Amino acid sequence: MNSVIPPGSTIGIMGGGQLGRMLSMAAAQLGYRCHILAPEATSPGAEVSADCTVAEYSDAKALAAFADACDVVTYEFENVPVAPLAAIASKVPLRPSPRALEIAQSRIDEKRFVTDLGGRAAPYGFAETADDVETAMAVAGTPAIIKSNRMGYDGKGQARVMPGDDAVARWHEAGGVPAIIEGFVQFDAEFSVILARGTDGDIRFWDSAQNAHVAGILDVSTVPANAAIQAQVPAARALAAKVAEALDYIGVLTLEFFATAEGPVFNEMAPRVHNSGHWTIEGAFTSQFENHIRAICGLPLGETALACHSAQMRNLIGEDAHGWPELLADPANHLHLYGKHRAAPGRKMGHVTRISLTPPGGQA
């Protein structure tokens, strides 16, 4: 089906965080109205959208009414329960498909899906209960990282097992819930592949950003990535395209990788726009947000090439956002604040992007 959802239509977005906010802003530029569904009474997404439904993601009745008010529905948050989404998918297109969401919600399913398509992941085992920890550790080796199978993000629900540690105690620290236990990857750098796939199957990639994390949270994304990463991007893109095609994916899809001496090692995927793609707002011809909107509405995708020589995006976490006066004092900074009222530690409050039109010391 390749029907176009024209400008003027209403796009439903499940989730009201900063990703929903930036999607809504990109949609508005193309003449769409957005309708956010989120459990919070106020949200960064709802503040910039035409409509908002305050409801739990599992409230099938509210979801059906929400779908009635929308022409297409997408999500910006991958922990939306899948079963109730049937109330939406029976009425309007839900893009990307709930299948992508289902896989990305479970670390074990995601690893199996991607490795079945030829991707390489860190050695991993699965500990459903404390009794499985030893067997899983034997596969993962030490050091290892325990990651809760579901609902983990930004380093939450994770614990490291170092030599001499009691792995079962660490499993309890990671929540004492079903978890993947994976070997520690010796990586040179981290990078992401972000692509958009349209309803006609057209796939476009943005330049891969080199990503640096602090305490499990993305700190800085830089393009172009270093040469070691760039050498691994073609293999990583080929895998990401296979994933997108296998899912008949529509929208923006992200895969995260470690660049190792043996080539790219797949870490995780996100069926949505991604923090490591925020630089595309100023640094690429078309941003990840605009192309997600174009894709889900059946429009042709925009050019994804770099529109600058280099770009760097830095997250503003917690109190960092209070530094906005200094950030704005530098006219080269593109400041994005998400309108969150409370700056809690570890909370993503905004980001700042710098683009350069010339090589260091060079001429345009």
Please report, as ranges, the residues that interact with ligand AMP according to CB under 6 A: 122, 145, 147, 155, 182, 184-185, 190, 213, 216, 267-268
Closest to ligand AMP by CB, 149 vs 291, is 149
Amino acid at 352: V
Closest to ligand AMP by CB, 309 vs 347, is 347
Shortest Å, Cβ 152 to ligand AMP: 6
Closest to ligand AMP by CB, 91 vs 156, is 156
Shortest Å, Cβ 106 to ligand AMP: 13
Question: Residue 43: which of 5, 15, 4 has the closest Cα?
Answer: 15
Asked if 255 and 266 count as a contact pair (C-beta separation under 8 A), the reply is yes
Nearest residue to ligand AMP, scored by beta-carbon proximity:
185
Other Cβ atoms less than 10 A from the Cβ of 228: the count is 15
Asked if 147 and 179 count as a contact pair (C-beta separation under 8 A), the reply is yes
Shortest Å, Cβ 124 to ligand AMP: 8
Task: Record the tokens describing residue 101, joined without a space.
Answer: 């969401």
Closest to ligand AMP by CB, 270 vs 299, is 270
Which residues lie across from 33 on neighbouring strands? 10
Asked if 168 and 123 count as a contact pair (C-beta separation under 8 A), the reply is no
Asked if 179 and 149 count as a contact pair (C-beta separation under 8 A), the reply is yes
Task: Record the tokens describing residue 174, joined without a space.
Answer: 């990671």
Shortest Å, Cβ 265 to ligand AMP: 8
Shortest Å, Cβ 216 to ligand AMP: 4
Amino acid at 271: P
Shortest Å, Cβ 267 to ligand AMP: 5
Closest to ligand AMP by CB, 92 vs 140, is 140
Closest to ligand AMP by CB, 216 vs 224, is 216
The residue assigned the tokens 């978890």 is 179
Closest to ligand AMP by CB, 286 vs 315, is 315
CA distance 297 to 280: 20
Amino acid at 311: A
Q: What's the residue count for the chain?
A: 364
Shortest Å, Cβ 50 to ligand AMP: 33
Backbone angles phi, psi at 58, to 5 degrees: -95, 0
